[in-house]
Each structure stands twice: as structure tokens, then as C-alpha cells.
Amino acid sequence: MNSSVVISGVGLWTPENSISNEELVESYNAWAEHFNQQNQATIEAGELAAKPLSSPAFIEKASGIKSRYVYSKEGVLDIHRMRPLLEIRDDGQVSHQAEMAIAAAKKALTAANKTAADIDMVIVSCAYTQRSYPAIAIEVQAALGIEGFGFDMLVACSAATFGLERAVDAIKCGTSKGVLVINPELTSPQVNFMDRDSHFIFGDVATAVVVESSESCTSAHAFDVVSTKCVTSYSNNIRSNFGYTTRVTDEDPYAADKLFHQNGRKVFKEVCPMAADHIETHLRSNDIQVVDLKRWWLHQANINMNLLISKRLLGRDATLEEAPIVLDEYANTASAGSIIAFAKHHEDLAAGDIGVICSFGAGYSIGSLILKKR
């Protein structure tokens, strides 16, 4: 192909409900105090650890997060429930996750000046899907009236960049004329709201990106995909063991290990240098210097990780214009974080400006795309 592959549109759908650190801490601390009271004798006997209290200052210092959006706020702050409450939908209704995906996809199609007729491939790539089959992507495809095919892809926090690489490859080799890569991150059902060290980390959101050939692109803000790079290296330091086999192992399907859990210190120590090396190697292989980058759309998991990665590459602290932060408002939205940053901070770039989208997370998995504004 003589034409290039472009990202021609991006869509961001944000839930109506938000929970501040103050709200979350008030609920968690009330639950922890109740737990400690109910188990006072066992705790005093040294047979059970007391639940530690939290504070908004602790959360912000540890992560940079100040609030998060949730698909359903009901139940999250109830100390007798401590998890979201979603209404049951029957098989004939649109699933919760598909609803999120459709909303983001419509925004991306509008931004790209495209209709369903221009798309023939749908990838739903995210950290969790709410069912095994039929694929959420096929449900979304049907709801949007797209002819072609769709499939789900699960690569934890790197799912968006891995999905985009697959889309770029499909356009390059001519197996697709237009691809929707959608990231409906419904993370709150997998959050352990009774764990002080992780209950604040995640938020819900949906993002979507249109990928197509430059020959068919008509959008106002399009980016040539200069290069893509993905890598994985197996690690147990970020994990969720929820799965269908709990039915036959007779385990508690909602025990703590079945929800999100991590060894945060090891993740920080190991992933930061991996991500920095990945970006530097990717740029070098395309004869691009770090100083040539106008924008860094980094994974939004932890502000301290982003600061360390950008400082290692730049030799100084990155400005918010260079490496925008959205996790203070959105928290960690799994694979969608770097795409949120891109959605909110791309229209100001001039033709020829270069930026990189990079995500990193469980697996370990790291994905990056080098983009140039058209």
C-alpha cells in the first residue's frame, strides 16, 4: 500500500456518576471500624489483623487520584454492600458493557466523519468482559449496524494499544477498510472496595478509536500511525483469578484473590524501567529522538509512575502539556487511560507534530504507537 494508516477519530464516554476520595474514604473507614468492632476479640487475640483506616491525603500521595467515575454509584458506598449494584438485564437487552461501548463508538465515528457503512471490523479490547460469549464486540457490531466481523481482546491495561496494533495491521494488509477499536472499561465490579490499598485505584469509562487508510480519511484531526510495538513478559504481580473454573474447584468465586490485586511496590520497580526502555527503543528504531516528541499520552495508572518514566526519558520533569494527566479525575481506567489522554489532548497539535501513545500493565504487557499529526 502506498497510503498510510491513520487514526481519524476518537470518542470518550464518561459515566454520570463520580466518587471523590473523601466519599470513598468515609465509606471505607466506616466499614473498617465496623469490621474491627465486630471482630474485636479475635483481633485482640492476634488471630486476625485489624483493618487499617485510610485518608484522602494517603490516596492522593500514593496515586495522584482525586476522584473516579463509576457506571453505577449505588451500593459502592454502602458499608453493608461495598460493591456496585447493577440491574439484571435479560438476554434480549443490550448488556451494560455494550451500552458503554456503543456510546463511545458513536462519538468516535462522528469525529472521524464516518458511518457504520465505513467500518467492517470491530475490536472490543479491555481488561474485563462481563461474559464469555457471544463477544461484546459482536453485540456492539449488531447494535451499530456494521457489516463485517468483531471480536473481543483481553490484555489488561494494554488492551487498547494491542487492539490498535491489530487494527493497523488489518488496514495495512487490506483485510479491513475501517476498524473501530473500543475500550469499555467496566472495572468497578472487580474492585475490592474493602481493601485499603486498592479500593481507590479504578474508575469506569469507555473510549473508541477509528483506524482507516489515509486515502479514505476526511476528519479534521487525523494522525498517521508511524509505527506500533507490543511486548509481553509474564508476571504474577498484577492479577485477577476470577473465572469459570471456580464452579468445579468449589472456591469462593468472589474471594479477595478473585478480584484485582497486586504487589504495588514490585510493579512500580519493575514496570517503570520496562516502559521507559520500551518507548526509547521504539523511538530509536524509527530514527526519532525523545526530544522530537511533542506529546506523551501515557497509561494513567499512577502519577508517580508517569513522572518517573518521563523523567528517565527526558532527563527532567515533563510538563503537563508534554505528558497530560487525566487520572486525577478519572483514576486508573485500565486500558482506556492513555486513550482518554489522547482524546482530551490532541486537537492542539500542529501538522508534523509527533506523539506516542503508551500503555503498560498486567502480563506484564506494554504497547505503544508513534503518531504524527497530519
Q: Which helix (H) or strand (E) holds 17?
A: strand 17-20
| Coil, helix or strand at residue 22 | helix
Q: CB–CB of 127/160 below 8 Å?
A: no
Active site includes 173?
no
Q: How far apart are CA 89 and CA 294, in angstroms?
A: 45
User: What cell numbers appear for 130 in the block?
Assistant: 462481563
Specify which residues 11 forms β-bridges with: 208
Indicate the residue type of 8: S
Q: Which helix (H) or strand (E) holds 265?
A: helix 264-285
Q: CB–CB of 129/176 below 8 Å?
A: no
Q: Which of 139, 94, 138, 148 is nearest to 117 (CA)?
A: 148
Where do we find the cell 487511560? Answer: 337
Q: How far apart are CA 93 and CA 285, in angstroms?
A: 47
Q: Which helix (H) or strand (E) holds 208?
A: strand 205-213
Residues ≥6 apart with Cβ < 8 Å to 104: 11, 12, 13, 182, 183, 184, 206, 207, 208
Specify which residues 225 forms β-bridges with: 371
Q: Which of 212, 142, 203 is nearest to 175 (CA)?
A: 212
Quote the DSSP letter at residue 350.
Answer: P
Catalytic residue, from 126, 157, 230, 358: name it.
157
Give catalytic residues, as residue numbers.
157
